[in-house]
Structure 1
């Protein structure tokens, strides 16, 4: 099946924004489907990839002439390759004073953001794309029935479009994209050290970030750890889930948790060669939690929303895996990789909901079972991962 037949939930937001802004910028990790999406939604627009050396040289050497060739309704892909082009784009759109001029797309979010930061106000809307969400695959009848197979396969579009083995895809992805991009951005002489670092990060998915421990185990400085984490975060590979400590007068953990955007990449970095290996892996629960939380972040991205997602943990070890704050309402979620319902899953949820006067209707267990049971005024609910 080709990716063009898989509807992306971000489509509606993207189409609406381009009608009201002269520029829309679409960012996201490599191979998450940006080019495919843009070509599908805007078939009558010109498409120029600045990965192409010929186009890149013209745009670099004579930007005014380059823009005269593409005055409007053009998609510039990998636009961060020519950062000086942005100031000329700014002048050009000011002269035209209309909407629907350019769509900019790029994989290295931080370079792209730095380039457009000076000209963004009132001119450019920004959206983040990521790999498929659970609901996108479910709607396309492509969601794996087996939770372990789903976790191991991951959510990168190419796996579902061209059917490569996930094991082969992720090994190539790490070499071709992650390590190459990092080498271009940072002068890393020994990529084996970086590879060790990202594997150690995968082994800590769902855990409190400890930069000193990572530095010691990798054999690098804490400053380098923070730099490499920033690269992975801004290029759409990992994200940090912050703790929630507003209005809670207790001693709380204030370091973030580390997660990856894609569970399949985590499994590959952990050395898994088939989905059966995840069934008894010590990190199975953490990988399931990773998928659930990253899926919520993706869904927010696709709606053009900032995800108000956190975790909560006090100094006594009482913890909530996911806290979502929306419209002055707090929702609590416990995440369990078990496929069997168990009332013990509500122990922490009930304690915290009682302590902070949170309605039982706003507490749920997210689990790997098949059935969803909505919360009631007197009891929390169970949400199947397939309905998340």
Structure 2
């Protein structure tokens, strides 16, 4: 779906920017969709020096545009891109990719506003793996391996790959974005965040557990957000109850990375691991986000929880309608699966869309208007919206 989105947006905007975590396939996608354009990586020192020292001469090499990989590495180029695309007037001229949201978006918002269409690209969705017969056979394998492309394209060992990924990419990006004096403390912070995936964010508690200040914890969390490692899901703003929780929930954007950080060494551990439910919820939320991002749309995901403990894991905002979703890691549907939904439906009234339960079993069911979807069929449910892999079935 991201390919279709890029082609569509390139017909209406002079610049298209693909963001996302490192190794999520941004370069591969850009070169595939825009194969006719020259490709330049600004990670290469000589190309970066050329672009920085003579930006006009650098851009003059590409009369019909180009794919500029890791564009945030040369922020001074953005103002010259603005002049170039304004003078040229053609759509789809330049394609930018970047793995650091802060620096790329700074350039976009300050100098290229209105000229750029932004498409975040997260790791593979389950639908993409199913389409090429590379999907893991069990939920435990899916949560353990995660969905980063290299693991599935090259059938790599997840434990080895994630170890290298954290060392070479996560820590490298951190050093470029903020001054981390004690890398060991930052590593502990990332692991502590993984232990809290799917939970309400308690920033003070997180800071205390890591031995850092509240301010430092907030800055480091912002870096993880900007690097597409974590996502903060806000509580819904509509006042269904005056005693609402107002803090966001923390989610990793890939369950495999979170599992590695938790020290999970093989898929079998996830059969009884205490974090199984949190990792399953992490995966479902990431699938919902991927479905939005791949269409060039911002997140429309929220959650609801009151101070009495009543909760709905996800509210999907669709205009004036809120679609409630419960996520359960058990394989047998029980009455308890519906209690949070029932409470919220009583409060929400006409705002409520049809309620859903996504669970770890294998049978699709409909119970008194509640639609129950097994994990393997999530890509074929209309929870993910219109488009390939989604239908309008109940």
Fold shared by both chains (TM-score > 0.5): yes
**2:20 corresponds to 1:60:** no
1:320 aligns with 2:312: yes
Quote the Cα distance in structure 2 between the aligned partners of 1:270 and 1:121: 40
User: What SS does the corresponding residue of 1:180 show, helix, strand or coil?
Assistant: helix
Deviation at 1:211, TM superposition (A): 0.9
Secondary structure at the aligned position of 2:373 is classed as strand
- Rounded to whole Å, the distance in 2 between the matches of 1:71 and 1:216 is 54
Corresponding residue of 1:126: 118
Distance 1:41 1:77 in 2: 14
Residue 92 of structure 1 and its aligned partner are, at CA, apart by: 0.8
* Cα displacement string for residues 152-189 of structure 1 (whole angstroms, at most 9, x for unaligned residues): 00000000111110000100000000011101221112
CA RMSD of aligned residues (A): 1.4
CA 69–208 in structure 1, closer or farther in 2 if over 3 Å, else same: same
1:138 partner SS: helix
Q: Which residue of 2 aligns with 1:21?
A: 13
- 2:272 counterpart residue number: 280
Q: Report the counterpart of residue 299 of structure 1 in structure 2.
A: 291
Deviations 1:49-83, CA, capped at 9 Å, x for gaps:
00011111111111111011123230000011110
CA 298–136 in structure 1, closer or farther in 2 if over 3 Å, else same: same
Counterpart of 2:371 in structure 1 is 381
Partner residue in 1 for 2:92: 100
- CA contact 2:323–2:352 (8 Å) conserved in 1: no
Q: Give the Cα separation in 2 of the matches to 1:284 and 1:348.
A: 20
Name the SS for the 1:24 alignment partner: strand
Q: Which residue of 2 aligns with 1:156?
A: 148
User: SS state of the match for residue 67, structure 2?
Assistant: strand
- Please list every run of at least 4 consecutive aligned residues from structure 1 whose deviation after the TM superposition is greater than 6 angstroms: none
What is residue 290 of structure 1 aligned with on the other side? 282
**Residues of 2 paired with 1:329 and 1:356: CA distance?**
10
Are residue 182 (structure 1) and residue 151 (structure 2) matched?
Answer: no
> Which residue in 1 is equivalent to 2:64?
72
Whether the 8 Å CA contact 2:207–2:214 is kept in 1: the answer is yes
Distance across 2 between alignment mates of 1:13 and 1:322: 25
Which residues in structure 2 correspond to 1:1-388 (within 5 Å)?
9-357=1-349, 362-374=354-366, 378-388=368-378
Residues 324 and 356 of structure 2 are in contact (CA less than 8 Å); yes or no, is this contact kept in structure 1? yes
5+ residue gaps in structure 1? 1-8
Asked whether the equivalents of residues 360 and 379 of structure 1 are also in contact (C-alpha less than 8 Å), the reply is: no
Matched residue SS, 1:44 = coil
* Cα distance, 1:351 vs structure 2: 2.1
Cα offset, 1:361, TM superposition: 6.5
CA shift at 1:368, angstroms?
0.9
Q: Comparing 92-101 with 82-91, which one deviates more in the overlay?
A: 92-101
Q: How far is 1:122 from its partner?
A: 2.8
- Deviations, residues 187-227 of structure 1 (Å, cap 9, x unaligned): 11221100000000000111110111111111110000000
**For the Cα contact (< 8 Å) 1:45–1:74, is it kept in 2?**
yes
**3-state SS of the aligned residue for 1:131?**
coil
Where does residue 3 of structure 1 map in the other structure? none
Residues in 1 aligned to 2:192 and 2:302: alpha-carbon distance in whole angstroms: 23
Matches of 1:258 and 1:132, distance apart in 2? 20
Secondary structure (helix, strand or coil) at the match of 2:110 reads coil
Counterpart contact for 2:79–2:112, Cα < 8 Å: no
Aligned-partner Cα distance in 1 for 2:353–2:11: 38
Contact 1:362 1:380 in 2 (8 A): yes
- Write the distance in 2 (CA, Å) between the matches of 1:249 and 1:150: 37
